[in-house]
Structure 1
Amino acid sequence: MRFPESEQPEDSSASLDAVAGPSSVGLDHPGPSNGHLNGNGFAAVTNGASVASAAGNGVPKHNGHSKQSSAPSHSLSVARVTLPGSSLYDDSDVDREEFVRLVIQSLRDVGYIESAATLEAESGYAMETSDVADFRRFILEARWSKAENALQRLGVRDREGLWDARFLISQQKYLELLEAQQTTDALHVLRNELAPLDVDSEQLHTLASLMMCSEPEDLRQRAGWDGAAGNSRRILLDNLQRYIPPSTMVPPRRFATLLHQANVYQRQQCVYHNVPTSTTGFSLFSDHQCDETGFPRVTTTILKVHSDEVWMLEWSRDGNFLASSSNDKSVIIWGNGPEEWEQRHVLIHPYPVISMAWSLDDSILLAGSEHHIKMWNTKTGVCLRTLDEHSEQVTALVWLPDNSGFLSAGMDFKIVLWNTEGQRRDVWGILPVRVAHMVITPDFTRLVAIGMRAPLPVDPRENDPAAPAANGAPTSSPPPKDEHRLLVFDFATRRNEWSTLFDGELTSLSVSQNSQYALISRSPDDIQLWDLNTGRMARKYTGQRQSKDIIRSCFGGFESNFVISGSEDSNVYVWHRDTGVLLEVLEGHGEGSVNCVAWNPRNERMFASCSDDGTIRIWEAPPPEMMLESPSASIAPDYPQVATKGKGKTRQRWDDGA
C-alpha cells in the first residue's frame, strides 16, 4: 500500500519529499559515539539500537515490543523515488509494491528497523496500515474488545470467518482470566461470548471443564497452552492471520517462507540430491545442484561366503552391521571394521530365512523361516529363543518403534504381537490376505501390509461335521488368480483405513521416512509409489525386470529421495523418487537375479545388494583419488579386485597395481 499524497508516515519525522532516514548518516554528519565507520563511509549502527518508527506502525517495535533509542538520532533527507509502471522489472511479473513491502517486513524481522523506515519513506509503500499495527498491539496488550472491533476494518466481513476469529479472541481472553484466577469473569466470557458463537458442544464442554483447574500450571497443561506470559498471544495472531486478507496483513516471515519454498523446489529438481559427507547451507547466490559424482555407484567391497543364492539383506539400526540370508540356510552378520568388512557370526537355520528384523538397540536379530522365528543375540551369535506360533511361513517381522515388542506375520493369515522377550501378547485376528510383507510407518500411526487375496480360512467341519481338521490348520479355497491386496491399518485402533486390489504378485513393501509413501514391487516389471494419505498411486518406476523371482526394492538416500531395486537381468536400478527419472543402471553382479537391495540407514552414500551369484556388493560414492584419475566415470568400471584370504570376500582396488 502507498502512503496518501496528503499524509506522511505515522510517527515519521520528515515530509514525503524529505523523509526521515536512519540515525546513521553520511560523512557530513556525526555518527554514533563509537565512531566506527562501515565500508561505505557511513557510521555503523547496531541493529535496532536507535529506532525510528516504521511507517504505518503507530509505535516503534522490534519483535513485537517497543524499543527506545539509546543514542541520539540524526536525520538524513531521503527523497521519495517515483518509478514508472508497477512491476519490479520491465520483464517481471512480480508486483513492485508487494516485493517492497516484503523487504520492509524482513528488515524489521531481523532488526534493521531504521532501514525499514527509510525504505518505506523512499518507496512510498507502507508495509501495513495503522489499523493493522493497532490490531497487533491490541492482541499483544490483551485489549480484546478493541481487537474484535478492528476485525471488520481489516476486511474480515465473511460471517463465518468473523465468528471464528471472534471465538479465537474470546477463547484467549477466557484462558487468561482463568490463569489469573478470575473465575467469575471467565464464566461470564464463557456464557456470553463463547457460547453464542455456535461453538461445537464438545469443544465448549472441554473449555468449561478447565474451570475445575485449581492451579494455573494445571490449566496450562490441560489446555496445551503456555499462558499469557508465553507465546500464546503471538500464536493467536498467527491463527487470526488466516481470516485477514494477506494484502492487508502480511503473513509473518513471508520472504523466509518463499525462500524455503524455493529451496524445497530446487532440491526436488536436483535428481542426485543427497546429503554429502559434510553438509553446506542453502546459498541464495546460486541454484542448488548436487554433483552426481557423489552418488554411490561404485562397488567398494564384495562379500562372498554364502554357498548359494543370497535372498535378503537387513541393515542394523546404527548402519554398522549387515545381516544377509541365503538359500544355504544361513544368516551371516557382517561388521564394518576400521579397514574392511568382517564376518562376525554365521547363524544356522533348518530352513532358508525369508524375513529379518533388528531390535532398536541392535542387540537382537529376529529371523523367520518356514513356520518359526529365532531370536539371536547379535553380540554372541547365540539363539535366545525359538517361537512357533505360526502354522505357515513367517514372511514379515517388524520391531515396534516404541520398543515394546515386535510383530510377526505370515502366510497363515494372521499377525502376532510379541513382547521383547519373545512372549506372545496378542493376535490381530484373521486377515483377508496371506501376508507377504508388512511395515509400520516411522510415525507409528499405520501398519501397511501386502499379500495374496484369499477368502477367510474356514474349518472344513463347519460344512462337513465328519471331515477332520488338518492338524487344526485353517483351510480355504484357492485365491482368485493374480489378485493381491495392499492394506493400510490405523495402528492404534487396528481399523482397516483402505485397501486396493492388484493383478500380479506383490513381492516387497517399504515406507518412506516421512511416513507418506509406500513402495510396492509388483510382478511383472513394475514398481509403484502409493500415497498413504490419499490412497492413490503417485508414480511408477520401470526398466527393471521381474517376472518369476521375488525382488525387494526400497527407498534410499537423504529424505528417501531415491528408489532402488534389483532385477532379473543382474543389474541394480536407481530412480529419482519424485520425478521417476532413471538415474543409474549399475552392473557388476554375475548371472541371475539381484534379489534384494538395502540402503544404509545412517550413511546416505552407501547401499548393499545381493544376488543369485552368491555375493553381496557394498556400493559407495567413488573416492576422491578415483575421481581425480577418472572424473568422467559414471558407472562402476571393472577395476582389479584383490582377494582377501580367509575372509571369503574381495575388495576393490583404486590403483592398477597388483
Structure 2
Amino acid sequence: MRPTEPDQESAVSVQLEMPEAGPSSVPGTSNGHNGSAAKQNGYGNSYSNGYSKASATDATNGGRPEKQAMSTTRVSLPGSTLYDDSYVDREEFVRLVIQSLRDVGYIESAATLEAESGYTMESSEVAEFRRCILDADWTRADAALMRLGVADDERLWEAKFLISQQKYLEMLEANKVTAALHVLRNELAPLNVDRDQLHALSSLMMCSNPEDLRQRAGWDGASGHSRRRLLGNLQRYIPSSVMIPQRRFATLLDQARAYQQSLCLYHNAPSNSRTFSLYTDHLCDKDAFPRVTTAILEVHTDEVWNLEWSHSGNFLASASKDKTAIIWRVEHDKDPSIREISQQFILRDHPYPVGCVAWSLDDSILLTSAEDHIKLWNTRTGLCVRSLEAHSDVVTALAWLPDGSGFISGGLDRKIILWDADGKQRDSWGQTPIRVTDLTVTPDFTRLVAVGMYDVPTNVPGPTATPPENGNQPGAGRTAENRVIVYDLLTKQPQLFIPVDGELTSVEVSEDSRYALINRAPEPNAPCEIHLWDLESERIARRYLGHKQSKHVIRSCFGGIDGSFVASGSEDAVVYIWHRDTGTLLEALSGHGPGSVNSVAWNPRNERMFASCSDDKTIRIWEAPPVHVVGVPVDAEDPRQAHEVDGKGKGKSRERWDGQATGSSYGLGSSSGSTLL
C-alpha cells in the first residue's frame, strides 16, 4: 500500500481551500460550503472509523463523497523512515495517525492527511469486509475474507468458523431456529470443529428466550458489542499490514506507559491523564510514598497479633493477646491533621487470645478466632451473633469466599471447613494432609491455597510420598515437612503440592490469582526470605530479603496500586517494603517499640495508607509524609537498638503450632486510645 507516483507540482507545497479553522461539526454551520446543510465533520453522510478513501461514486462501498471545495497537494519526502536517524517506517506511522484521527472523530483531518501523504489507512477490500461484519452481511463477508490474504487454509477455516458462529447465534437470538440449524449442519460442522464445542453450540437451541441464550453463551447479542469483538478476533488471521489492529496507536502508548511504570520503583498512582503525560517520562515522587506514622492506636493491653482492613477501607480490625478484638473507625480519605480515629467496638468475650480476624464482603460481619473458637460479630452493633466450635485445635486461618456466600476456616487439627455466611457448616475437606497454618481463596473463586506442616514416614523416600491422614504428631520414624497445597475449590481435590523449607506462617494471593506470597520461618542458618510463588509455572518468581523471622508468626501482604509492593513485619521491630516485580527493598520503617511487628495490612481504598501491629501493644497508621516534614520520618528509631522479646507462650510461636505451647489467662485493661501525630 505504497504511495502513488508524485504529482508534477511542487513536492513541498500544500494548497488548501478550506474553511476557517475551528470545529467541523458546529450546529448550523456549513463548513465552507455555500448553501449546503449542516454536516457531520464536513461530510453529508456519516463516516465510520476504518473506511478508506474512495471516489464519490463508491460511497456505498466504504468511500466518502469528495469535497469540491478542497484540494490537497501530495507531499513527497525523501527516504522511507520518519526521520533520517529513525527506524520507524513512515508509511506505518502515517497510517496509524490516520486511524487514530478517525477513531477520535477528526475525519476531515484524516482525509487531508491521506491526500497529502498518499497513504491510505486501508484498502477498499478491508473497508468492505469491516462493513459486512458490522452490518451482518455474512455472504459478502465470506467472499471479502477470501481477498484479504489469510495465510493458510487452517487459519482461513478458523476465521470462517468465527463468522459462522456469530451468524448462528444471531439467528437463534432472532428465533430463526430452522435457519440456525442449517448454519450448524452445513457451515459449522464441515469445518472440523471440536466435537465438544459443536455439542455446546447445538445445546443453545434449547434456550427458552434470547436472554437465556445470551447468558449461556456468554455473548451480548447482535445489538451489543459482539460484532466489534468478532472483528477484533478476526484480526488475528488477517495480516496486520492489510488490516491494522483496532486502536493500534493507543495500544502502543499503553505499552509505553506500562514499561515506564515498571521502571518506576515507587509507582503508586492510578493511571489517568493527570498521572501519565505523553510529554515526559513517568516517574512517581518518592515523597508521596507511605513511610511515616500519622497515627498510633494505643488501646490493646498486650501484644497485637493480626489486623485487617474492611473492604470499604473505613474500618480496621485488630486481634490481640489480651483476648479482645477491636474495630477501629479510620477516615482514610481525610487529611491526617483533621482525621478522626475512634474505637467503634471492643469485642470481648473471647476465652483465649485472639489470633485471626476476617471481614465479610459487605463488612457487616467480622469473624474472630481464639484457640479453637470462632465468633461471628455484627459490626453495626458490636454483638456476637454466633459462636462456632467445630475445630478441636487452634484455628489459624479465616477466609471469606469472594462472592460473600460463606467463609472457610483452617486449623492445626488438619481440618478445613466451609461455612455459610450465617455460620452453618456447609462442607468439609475432611482430614487434610497438613496442620494448616494459613489459607486463602483465590479471587477468581477457583482454588484454595493452604500452607502448613505434615508428617512423612522416614522409610518412604521423596517429597511426593502420600501424607498421613491420622493427624499423629511427629515422632519416632517420622519427619516434619512443610508444604503449600493448592486445592480445586469445587472438587476439594489437591492440584499441586509444593515442598518449602522452613515453617510457613502466612499466605496471600495476588488479585490476578496467579501468585502466592508466603512468609516462612527458615531453618537454622538458612537465609530469611519471603517467597512469591507462581502457581501457574510452579516455581518461585521472586524472593524478598532483609527482614528477620525465626520463631514468630509474621504476616506479609500485597499493597499499593495493582499490588505493586510487598510489605511485611519483622522480628526486629521494623516494617519492610519491597518492589514486587524487582524484589528491590524500598523502605525499612522503624518506629515500633521492642518486639516483633507481627502483621501489615494495606488499605484497599487508599493506596497510600497501610497499618502495622506489634508486640509493643500498638497499631501504627503509615502514610506519605505531610508537606512540611517531607524527608523527615516521624518517630524514627534505629532498628539496631530494638531488642527482641522472648516469644515463649505468645500463641504465635512455632512451639504453639506444634502443639507444645499452651494458652495462658490474660486480663483486659484499657488505655488512652489513639495518638495522632
Kindly provide the amino acid, as one letter, of the partner of residue 5 in structure 2.
E
> Are 1:651 and 2:654 matched, yes or no?
no
> Are 1:385 and 2:409 matched, yes or no?
no
CA contact (8 A) 1:21 1:115 kept: no
Q: Distance in 2 between matches of 1:650 and 1:374?
A: 26
Q: Distance in 2 between matches of 1:139 and 1:571?
A: 60
Partner of 2:402: 401
SS in 2 for 1:88: coil
- State which of 521, 524, 536 in structure 2 corresponds to 1:523: 521
**Structure 2: 5+ residue runs without aligned partners?**
33-37, 332-337, 458-468, 523-527, 638-669
- State which of 570, 573, 577 in structure 2 corresponds to 1:570: 573
Kindly provide the amino acid, as one letter, of the partner of residue 260 in structure 2.
Q
Q: Distance in 2 between matches of 1:212 and 1:32?
A: 50
- Shift of residue 411, structure 1, vs aligned partner: 0.8
Partner of 1:544: 547
SS in 1 for 2:437: strand
Kindly provide the amino acid, as one letter, of the partner of residue 316 in structure 1.
S
CA contact (8 A) 1:317 1:601 kept: yes
CA contact (8 A) 1:51 1:60 kept: no
- Shift of residue 346, structure 1, vs aligned partner: 4.4
SS in 2 for 1:318: coil
- Shift of residue 410, structure 1, vs aligned partner: 0.3
Q: Distance in 1 between matches of 2:352 and 2:55?
A: 78
State TM-score, norm by structure 1. Answer: 0.83
Partner of 1:173: 167
SS in 2 for 1:153: coil
Q: Distance in 2 between matches of 1:55 and 1:3?
A: 17
Partner of 1:365: 366
> Are 1:475 and 2:476 matched, yes or no?
no
Q: Distance in 2 between matches of 1:558 and 1:498?
A: 29
Partner of 1:138: 132
Q: Distance in 1 between matches of 2:541 and 2:450?
A: 18
- Shift of residue 17, structure 1, vs aligned partner: 10
Q: Distance in 1 between matches of 2:298 and 2:330?
A: 15
- The answer to which of 404-413 and 348-357 deviates more is 348-357
Per-residue CA distance 1:279-315 (angstroms, 9 max, x = gap): 9353222222222212111111222233332211122
- Shift of residue 426, structure 1, vs aligned partner: 1.5
Q: Distance in 1 between matches of 2:188 and 2:395?
A: 56
- State which of 504, 507, 515 in structure 1 corresponds to 2:505: 507
- State which of 222, 225, 243 in structure 2 corresponds to 1:249: 243
- State which of 541, 553, 557 in structure 1 corresponds to 2:560: 557
- State which of 301, 306, 312 in structure 1 corresponds to 2:306: 312
> Are 1:24 and 2:27 matched, yes or no?
no
Kindly provide the amino acid, as one letter, of the partner of residue 392 in structure 1.
D
Per-residue CA distance 1:213-245 (angstroms, 9 max, x = gap): 575555445444444444333222222111011
**Structure 1: 5+ residue runs without aligned partners?**
9-13, 38-43, 457-471, 639-645, 654-658
Partner of 2:416: 415
Q: Distance in 2 between matches of 1:162 and 1:270?
A: 43
Kindly provide the amino acid, as one letter, of the partner of residue 442 in structure 1.
P
Kindly provide the amino acid, as one letter, of the partner of residue 560 in structure 2.
G
Partner of 2:660: none
Mark the CA change 1:350 to 1:212 in structure 2 (over 3 Å): closer, same or farther.
closer
Q: Distance in 2 between matches of 1:55 and 1:4?
A: 19
Per-residue CA distance 1:463-495 (angstroms, 9 max, x = gap): xxxxxxxxx984354596563111222222323
Mark the CA change 1:65 to 1:228 in structure 2 (over 3 Å): closer, same or farther.
farther
SS in 1 for 2:237: coil
Q: Distance in 2 between matches of 1:221 and 1:453?
A: 44
Per-residue CA distance 1:27-77 (angstroms, 9 max, x = gap): 9xxx9974899xxxxxx996354679898444899xx997987xx944443
Q: Distance in 2 between matches of 1:475 and 1:498?
A: 23
Q: Distance in 1 between matches of 2:497 and 2:83?
A: 52
- The answer to which of 554-563 and 198-207 deviates more is 198-207
- The answer to which of 319-328 and 206-215 deviates more is 206-215
Q: Distance in 2 between matches of 1:111 and 1:21?
A: 20
Q: Distance in 2 between matches of 1:484 and 1:59?
A: 73
What is the alpha-carbon root mean square deviation over aligned residues? 3.7
- Shift of residue 276, structure 1, vs aligned partner: 7.5
- Shift of residue 126, structure 1, vs aligned partner: 1.7
Partner of 1:454: 455
Q: Distance in 2 between matches of 1:452 and 1:239?
A: 47
Partner of 1:600: 603
Mark the CA change 1:105 to 1:60 in structure 2 (over 3 Å): closer, same or farther.
farther
Q: Distance in 2 between matches of 1:650 and 1:183?
A: 68
CA contact (8 A) 2:446 2:488 kept: yes
- The answer to which of 81-90 and 332-341 deviates more is 332-341
CA contact (8 A) 2:6 2:76 kept: no
Mark the CA change 1:617 to 1:227 in structure 2 (over 3 Å): closer, same or farther.
closer
Q: Distance in 2 between matches of 1:174 and 1:277?
A: 39
Kindly provide the amino acid, as one letter, of the partner of residue 91 in structure 1.
D
- Shift of residue 172, structure 1, vs aligned partner: 2.7
Q: How do 1:137-536 residues align onto structure 2 when only pairs under 5 Å count? A: 137-212=131-206, 219-275=213-269, 280=274, 282-336=276-330, 339-343=339-343, 344-454=345-455, 474-475=471-472, 477-478=474-475, 481=479, 483-524=481-522, 525-536=528-539
- The answer to which of 270-279 and 180-189 deviates more is 270-279
Per-residue CA distance 1:184-218 (angstroms, 9 max, x = gap): 44433332222211112222233334445575555
- State which of 589, 592, 595 in structure 2 corresponds to 1:589: 592
The share of aligned pairs that are identical, in percent, is 59
- The answer to which of 366-375 and 214-223 deviates more is 214-223
Q: Distance in 2 between matches of 1:83 and 1:94?
A: 15
Partner of 1:464: none
- Shift of residue 89, structure 1, vs aligned partner: 1.8
Kindly provide the amino acid, as one letter, of the partner of residue 247 in structure 1.
S
Q: Distance in 2 between matches of 1:412 and 1:293?
A: 47
- State which of 599, 612, 615 in structure 1 corresponds to 2:618: 615
- The answer to which of 47-56 and 141-150 deviates more is 47-56
Kindly provide the amino acid, as one letter, of the partner of residue 232 in structure 1.
S
Q: Distance in 2 between matches of 1:308 and 1:218?
A: 57
Per-residue CA distance 1:543-586 (angstroms, 9 max, x = gap): 11111221111111222111101111111111111222211111
Q: Distance in 1 between matches of 2:86 and 2:384?
A: 69
Kindly provide the amino acid, as one letter, of the partner of residue 475 in structure 1.
N
- The answer to which of 251-260 and 370-379 deviates more is 370-379
CA contact (8 A) 1:55 1:126 kept: no
Q: Distance in 1 between matches of 2:276 and 2:378?
A: 44
Q: Distance in 1 between matches of 2:148 and 2:272?
A: 48
Mark the CA change 1:224 to 1:332 in structure 2 (over 3 Å): closer, same or farther.
closer
SS in 2 for 1:579: coil
Q: Distance in 2 between matches of 1:346 and 1:430?
A: 31
SS in 1 for 2:92: helix
CA contact (8 A) 2:371 2:395 kept: yes
Aligned pair count?
610
- The answer to which of 301-310 and 494-503 deviates more is 301-310
- Shift of residue 85, structure 1, vs aligned partner: 2.2
SS in 2 for 1:418: strand
Q: Distance in 1 between matches of 2:242 and 2:433?
A: 55
